[in-house]
Structure 1
Amino acid sequence: MHGASAVFVVQDGNKTACIMANFSADFLTNYITKTGPKNVTFSLPPNAKVLNTSSCGKENASNPSLVIAFGGGHTLNLTFARNATRYSVQLMSFVYDLSDTQIFPSAISNETKSDESITDIMADINKKYRCVSSNQIHMKNVTVTFHNATIQAYLSNDSFSKEGLTFPPCSLFSDWAWRAR
């Protein structure tokens, strides 16, 4: 099960793209109902939007971030960092709202929960990386599975680089970092 792939773009004040991502994603978590715990899997919908809280970052003041919103108060946030030769997804976080009855029917709580994970997703500057296999990021209470993912930050020409590698056997996002070395 996974939804349609979508393209997400973060632009600076001049409308120049600094982050681009193209992927579909599924989320697996559990919540409590009157009858006990229940596992739920749901997909990032094709109408998910990049929030204006996304940012290209400011030199030494903030890191670039891609914040994607969907459904009744759910957000996926990828925060990037770089050095002279590589960029990485430094932190991934997911916020989900149990009051969304479409995804969490019969939840006994209506609280908003969050989860995050440090990642080792890493790529060379000015290169895109594409993984056609499914990649799972395990957080404490949520597993995010990316499908057919292409991600690039610190864009130099307002679009995905023509240079990059495709990794058909990716099983984890960390494979990207290992194979890029």
Structure 2
Amino acid sequence: MGSTSKMKVLESLGPLLVACLGILGCTQAVTLEVKERNSTCIKAELSALLFITYTTFNSTSNVSTSLPDSTSVDAASSSCGAAGRPPWLVAVFGSGHALGLSFATNGSFYSVTNLTLQYNLSDTSLFPQSNGSGVVTVVSSSVGIWAPINTTYRCASPTTIRAGGAAVTFSAMRLEAYMPGNDLSPAESVCTADQTTTTAPPTTTTTAAPAPTPPGTPETGVFSVTNSSGTVCLLAKMGLQLNVSYVSQSQNKTVQELVNVNPNLTVTSGSCGGTTASLVLTQQTTTLNFTFSMNSTTSKYHLSGINLLANWSDMTAPFSASNTSLDYLRSTLGRSYMCNTEQTLLVVPAFSLNTFRLQVQPFGVTASQFAAAEECQLDQDQMLIPIIVGAALAGLVLIILIAYLIGRKRSHAGYQTI
């Protein structure tokens, strides 16, 4: 089954997943804790329904299952984030299945940076007549779970996260990472789906706010991601500018704001894989997540997803935007992608990203250096302009010179010897 068909199946079964969660109550709540010595650093109380599409001998089949009561934390794979590793919560269940969440923080907020699902096709009780065997791993870096430090993230509403040919639907979730104590913090950050609609305050006549000053060209930053062995596996050099439309609390209307990403205030994280890599940039109350995908058949890679989470002071509610079907920054394995010219990457109608002096290589980095670059069409066009102008000027000079010589020759021919 192709990726498009799988997506259609997942989308069509979304209402069924929600119905199963809300009406039948078919999922069970589990409590998971990651500890270091006697201190708890990650705790989650949640229900999760897993939907997986797999190939049988004759066609394809779908299976759904919930995390059972017997789900437990894999202490060997889970971590509080020591030795440069990000915090990980890895839950194991059944015959070789696992669900993992990795976390990152910028000191003010924490977020789930990746969801990883591993399922064992050799488990015939869950995958009957599967024509495959062994463990399949799928990853999603567009999770959208985040909250302020020392605050519990709470979301009772079903939230579905898609990864490859699978989908994970969480509900009745309470979660916290980087915990100050062994219990979930009493202060809660409620997800958007759980927030009730409130009546807007009466409109009053106020003086119009002055138009914001454009922030100018952003500073170029160098960002890198390392793998578990400490080797740089992703490199990026770029200036970034966020173009966000949101409802202003002070103006009581939708405004558009340009915000530069300051590389000196940014915390970098991410992950590298064979066909998927992610770069996560966190700056105070803003988290920007890039997902890169590679086609192993053609050895071509591209930017396939961008996710933005922002909670700026003038926003009436936290802003979230995600698109995992993008096709930007396309290049070849073993080479980097470069575009010095300003580009605008449209993510969703309310959010676009402007890039400046960009060079990126999410796969095949060696010796912590960029490989030879494939330049974007905009840069190539910019190089052609001075060539064309130079050629035109040279042609104009040549025409003037020829005209001058012809005129001079005629002038000499008009003189007579006395």
- Match for 1:5: what amino acid? A
Residue 185 (structure 2) aligns with: 161
For 2:115 and 2:147, locate their aligned partners in 1 and report how far apart those are by CA, in whole Å: 16
Deviation at 1:165, TM superposition (A): 3.4
What does 1:3-18 align with in structure 2 at a 5 Å threshold? 3-13=27-37, 15-18=38-41
Q: Are residues 1:70 and 2:110 paired?
A: no
Q: Secondary structure at the match of 1:169?
A: helix
Deviation at 1:130, TM superposition (A): 0.8
For 1:177 and 1:141, locate their aligned partners in 2 and report how far apart those are by CA, in whole Å: 29
Aligned residues of 1:129 and 1:150 also touching (Cα < 8 A): yes
Q: Are residues 1:114 and 2:137 paired?
A: yes
Higher relative contact order (CA 8 A, sep 6+): 1
Deviation at 1:11, TM superposition (A): 0.3
Residue 105 (structure 2) aligns with: 82
For 2:155 and 2:192, locate their aligned partners in 1 and report how far apart those are by CA, in whole Å: 6
- Match for 1:10: what amino acid? V
Using structure 1 for the length normalisation, give the TM-score: 0.90
Deviation at 1:4, TM superposition (A): 1.0
Give CA-to-partner distance per residue, 1:6-47, whole Å, 9 cap, x none: 11000002x100000000101111112223100111111111
For 1:133 and 1:96, locate their aligned partners in 2 and report how far apart those are by CA, in whole Å: 25
Relative to structure 1, is the Cα distance of residues 157 and 65 closer, same or farther in structure 2, using a 3 angstrom cutoff? same
Aligned residues of 1:10 and 1:55 also touching (Cα < 8 A): yes
Select the residue among 54, 59, 63 that pairs with 2:78.
54
For 1:105 and 1:159, locate their aligned partners in 2 and report how far apart those are by CA, in whole Å: 41
- Match for 2:187: what amino acid? E
- Match for 1:44: what amino acid? L
For 1:167 and 1:117, locate their aligned partners in 2 and report how far apart those are by CA, in whole Å: 19
Aligned residues of 1:132 and 1:168 also touching (Cα < 8 A): no
Q: Secondary structure at the match of 2:164?
A: coil
Q: Secondary structure at the match of 1:120?
A: coil
Aligned residues of 1:99 and 1:109 also touching (Cα < 8 A): yes
For 1:101 and 1:154, locate their aligned partners in 2 and report how far apart those are by CA, in whole Å: 38
Using structure 2 for the length normalisation, give the TM-score: 0.40
Q: Are residues 1:129 and 2:153 paired?
A: yes
Matched length = 177
Structure 2: unaligned runs, 5 residues or longer: 1-19, 21-25, 196-306, 312-316, 320-418
Deviation at 1:106, TM superposition (A): 1.3
For 2:310 and 2:130, locate their aligned partners in 1 and report how far apart those are by CA, in whole Å: 38
Aligned residues of 1:120 and 1:177 also touching (Cα < 8 A): no
- Match for 2:117: what amino acid? F
Deviation at 1:169, TM superposition (A): 2.7
Aligned residues of 2:54 and 2:62 also touching (Cα < 8 A): yes
Runs ≥4 residues deviating over 6 A: none
Which one has a larger percent helix, Structure 1 or Structure 2?
Answer: 2
Select the residue among 33, 50, 53 that pairs with 2:56.
33
Aligned residues of 2:146 and 2:153 also touching (Cα < 8 A): no
- Match for 1:140: what amino acid? G
Q: Are residues 1:148 and 2:154 paired?
A: no
For 1:68 and 1:102, locate their aligned partners in 2 and report how far apart those are by CA, in whole Å: 20
Larger Rg: 2
- Match for 2:90: what amino acid? V
Residue identity over aligned pairs, in percent, reads 32
- Cα RMSD between the aligned structures? 2.2
Give CA-to-partner distance per residue, 1:89-140, whole Å, 9 cap, x none: 1111001000111110111211211100113321100000111110000112
Which one has a larger percent strand, Structure 1 or Structure 2?
Answer: 1
